[in-house]
Amino acid sequence: MVGLSPKPDRPSYNVANYLKENGYKIIPVNPKAGEILGEVCYPDLSSIPEPVDVVDIFRRSEEVPAIVEEAIKIRAKAVWMQEGVINEPAAARAAKAGLFVVMDRCMLKEHRKLERRRIMEEKKIRDLVRERYSQIASQEQQSCCSSCSCSEATPLSQVEAIGYLAEDLEHIPQETIMGLGCGNPIAITELKAGEVVLDLGSGAGIDVFLAANKVGPTGRVIGVDMTKEMVDKAKDIAKGYGYHNVEFRQGEIEGLPIDDKSVDVIISNCVINLSLDKSKVFLEACRVLKPGGRLIVSDIVAEKTLPDEIKQDPDAWVACIAGALEQQEYLTKIKKAGFEDVQVISKREFYIEGKQNKAMEKLLSITVKAYKRERSLS
């Protein structure tokens, strides 16, 4: 059997242990489940090197059809759809392919409770991030990039430490330099005159104004940020310095206020990490890019799964730490969104200390470059 909840407070956890005790093998496709159940974890069904009898599905309803297709492909004997993810068309497809279909309606109440809790936690994190960056925009909170030591550093020295060049910074408004970020995506973007550039999580506009200088008056740079105070600050700076080829819009990177296939280049600097749905961010990026368009992002990733102590720490979320995915998972999400030739152009490691156990966790600041596929794969 594949899947099953790894959490002791969930009914299917007991089912998993019962099956193990009675000679059945549980093959998890979730790293956390593999760790808790003590089994080797596989990234997807097709990579499992032995026959699978039952595929347990406890995922979002829209993901169920793809999982059913995988189950059919590996010749599983049955699929178990738990309440909350039951997808009638997918169930019909499985039955037509000869699989035995179990639709479990005993977990509805628990699933709804967990879903409500998840939504509340996501809203809490999003509100916290918005509040903290509003304070930074208003100069009520000191900014500090998570990948550099900056107890005594100035915003200028912080951004120089992560790769920005003094000669470039001299030619943009100094008010945009706030010490945020973990890399310099502009350095490898190779912008051309006349290109349209989009900055995800543009803040006060440091990368927008750097890009504006490169694309010239025939080009255009759009900055999108969810924080009203940051957008207002960037607009005031642009107006004060007479920039006519930049624009700032308030919005979330999971639902960009940008037209389809209207952008040549997307940049982002240590912002996607803050998103609770990174897959959706990359799908949106692919949507607004022109075919063959470039994606260049600097972000924080983890060498291994971070401990719950860090993932649940509000301060670590704001510092772009708690949201760090493992590097391979991050790159895989980019590829699945519709990008190709995904390359890690630069990488720098640093360490953080857990508040409780004082253990040192290794993190990586990476800059990734990828291209939107010219046409979708059939």
Tokens of 180: 């945020």
Question: For residues 86 and 64, which has the higher predicted lDDT (pLDDT)?
Answer: 64
Domain of 271, CATH number, reads 3.40.50.150
Question: Which residue(s) pair with 289 in the sheet?
Answer: 263
Q: What's the rounded Cα separation, in Å, for the pair 173 and 200?
A: 19
Classified as helix, coil or strand, 301 is: strand
Does residue 131 lie within any of the structural domains? no
Residue pair 365/344 in contact by the 8 Å Cβ criterion: no
What are φ and ψ of residue 310, in 5° steps?
A: -85, -45
Domain of 25, CATH number, reads 3.40.50.720
Cβ neighbours for 8, distance < 8 A, ≥ 6 positions apart: none
Tokens of 73: 């492909």
Domain-ending residue, one of 106, 126, 145: 106
- Out of 165-169, 309-313, 374-378, least confident range: 374-378
Domain-ending residue, one of 38, 71, 106: 106
Mind listing the pLDDT tens digit for each residue in 260-281? 999 999 999 999 999 988 999 9
Section 210-222 average pLDDT? 97
Does residue 242 lie within any of the structural domains? yes
Q: Which domain holds residue 216?
A: 155-372
Which amino acid would we find at residue 295? Answer: L
> Percent of the chain, pLDDT > 70?
75
Helices (H) and strands (E) in the chain — how many of each? 13, 10
212/79 same-domain check: no
208/303 same-domain check: yes
Tally of domains within the chain: 2
The model's pTM is 0.68
- In the structure, what pLDDT confidence band is assigned to residue 103 with cuts at 50, 70 and 90? low
Section 37-52 average pLDDT? 69
Tokens of 287: 């949507």
